[in-house]
Each structure stands twice: as C-alpha cells, then as structure tokens.
Copies of this chain bind each other. A is one copy, B any other.
Amino acid sequence: MSASHTDNIPTHDAHIASHQDDARIFLDASRAHVERRLHQLVPHDSVEPRVIHEAVRYSLFAGGKRFRPALVVAVGTAFNARLETLLDTACAFEMLHTYSLVHDDLPAMDDDDLRRGQPTCHRRFGEAMAILAGDVLQTLAFQTIAGDDRLSSDVRVRLIGELAHAAGTPSGMIAGQARDLAAATHEIKAEELTRIHAAKTGALIRAAARCGALIGNARDAELEAVGTYAARLGLLFQITDDLLDVTSTAAEIGKTPGKDATQQKATYPALYGMKRTRELARAAHDDALRALDTLTYPTALLRAIARLVLERRA
C-alpha cells in the first residue's frame, strides 16, 4: 500500500510515448511469432485437397493485425508464462477470428468484396469453398489447443471451454452475429448496439486475455480483472473501428469505407455523433486501465496497448 501511485499512472507524455514504442515493438514481435507458428499449424497448400488449404491460407495470411493472439501473449507474459506455452493458444484465437471473418463476409451475411485490401475468400474461391474454409478454421482452432502438449490436459480443457464459450451462444460471437442480423431489419438503440458488440467481438477478445492469464496460472480474481480490461479494450476497438469507417480511405483500412452508412448499419457515430463517440472511446480506454489496478503483475504493456488502440489510424 506504500507503493507510489506513479507506478500505475504515467505522469508525463515522454513516459507514455516510451511505453507506446515498447508496445509497438512487442506487437510486431508477437505478430512475427504468431505468423511463423500459424504457418506450421495449418496444412501446407500442397497437401490434398489443395483448394481448401489454399483458401484457408489465403484468408489466414492476408496481413491481419493478429490483435487477439497478441493479447494472449501480452497477458500471458505479464503472468510469467513462457512464450512457447502461449503461442498455440494465440494461434487458435486467430484461426477462430479468421473463420468468423470469412463467414461474415459471405453474400448471405455482410456480402463484402474486400477484406484487408484483397478480394474476400468467397470472391476468390467461391462461396462453397469459403463456407468450408471457415468451418475448418474453427475445427483447427480447437484441434490446435487440444494437441498442445506443452500444456497440461487440465489447462487445455479450460482453454477450450473459454474459447467455445466466447465463440458460441448465448453470449458469445455467434449470438452477437445473430443479434446483428436481427438488428439490420429495424432501428436499434444504443444499449442493443453495445450488447451486439460485447458478444460479437468483445467475447473473443475477453477470452484471449483470460486464456493468456489461465496459461500463467492466474487466480479467479485475476482472470476477472484481465477479462474486464479486455472487454473494455474490445469495446474501444469497435468504437475506433466505427470512427475509422467514417474518416478513412479504402487504402488505409483495407476494406470499403463508408460501407456502414451505405448499409444503414447501426454504428456509434450514427447513434451518438462523432464528438460523443470520441468521448465514449476515451471512457472505454479509461475503464480498461482501471480494471488493471488490482493486479500485482506488471501492466505497463497492457496499458500501452489500450492507448495504441485509442489512437489507432488503421
């Protein structure tokens, strides 16, 4: 209790800037590790039947930020887990995330032509193969964790439970997607929009943080804390996504900008206006940081990541 309050609260801009540089270096390194491991975990595209492995690799290696895996690694590292015990679980989160993108882009869903600056999976490989590529990416995510013998079976079973809970219903990703589809047919209120995002993107981001902590043998209260941090971070990510859709060009964000407005999708700027949306982003950022205050582990990296998301331009 005698620790200086400056331990947790950066007091000048230079301090913040240096932590943000560290966070950028961390995110780059994490992305490189994850990409290398993903290449090993996914069947090579010379393996028959080739077309499905081509479609999977096309979607998986299109240059994503690898944000969810980075969160597994960042939180796990904070809890003293070694990188090699975190990497496969980190990759499983990216597989699951990519499956959701491939299926979300389908004509029956969001009907998107561009993803990360390239034709979407179904535009490149046809709709049937895109459905299968998404399907098998989900399978691979669970298979990867189940097969990771660096972790005890007890931990693997808990990780799979966390991932499935976040991916499914009633409060996970699919529930969010189902709510989102329903919302497209009528005007929704701010409360429903937040509920959609919490399920559709927040649950998986929260689970990524929790899984990193689980591998680091976190106690329940610590899982709760990093889970809340990540849930707020997920909301922040979504709000900044909505802001970027309004303010960016296609080259900057790698997909068709202004599409939300064209499709009359509910977004934070549409519901609140730009000024209030920026305030909400700041509040989500501050809430994320506050959730970390109870932890005795080093949290500078996690705080800097939140700041990077708040200030992201792409």
Interface residues of A (CB under 8 A from B): 43, 47-49, 51-53, 99, 103, 106, 108-109, 126-129, 131-132, 134-136, 138-140, 142-143, 146-147, 152-154, 156-157, 160-161, 164-165, 167-170, 172, 174-175, 177-179, 181-182
Residue pair A136, B169 in contact (C-beta under 8 Å): yes
Which of chain B's residues have a CB closer than 8 A to the CB of A160?
142-143, 146, 160
Give Cα distance in the complex from A181 to B160, angstroms: 31
Residue pair A143, B164 in contact (C-beta under 8 Å): yes
A181: nearest residue on chain B (CB-CB)? B128
| Residue in B43, B51, B165 whose beta carbon sits within 8 Å of that of A143 in the complex | B165
**Majority SS at the chain A contact face:** helix
Residue pair B49, A132 in contact (C-beta under 8 Å): no
Residue pair B128, A109 in contact (C-beta under 8 Å): yes
Give Cα distance in the complex from A106 to B107, angstroms: 12
Residue pair B142, A164 in contact (C-beta under 8 Å): yes
Which of chain B's residues have a CB closer than 8 A to the CB of A136?
167-169, 174
Residue pair A170, B139 in contact (C-beta under 8 Å): no
Residue pair B47, A132 in contact (C-beta under 8 Å): no
A131 and B156 in contact, given A49-B179, A168-B143, A182-B49 (Cβ under 8 angstroms): no
| Residue in B126, B131, B161, B172 whose beta carbon sits within 8 Å of that of A131 in the complex | B131
Which of chain B's residues have a CB closer than 8 A to the CB of A146?
157, 160-161, 164
Interface centre among A49, A128, A153 (most CB of B within 10 A): A49
Give Cα distance in the complex from A181 to B167, angstroms: 27
Which of chain B's residues have a CB closer than 8 A to the CB of A103?
131-132, 135
Not counting A103-B132, A135-B135, A153-B153, a sample of 20 additional A-B residue pairs whose C-beta atoms are within 8 angstroms of each other reads A47-B170, A49-B175, A52-B174, A52-B178, A99-B135, A103-B135, A106-B131, A109-B131, A132-B177, A135-B138, A136-B167, A136-B169, A138-B139, A139-B172, A140-B168, A142-B164, A146-B160, A146-B164, A147-B161, A153-B157
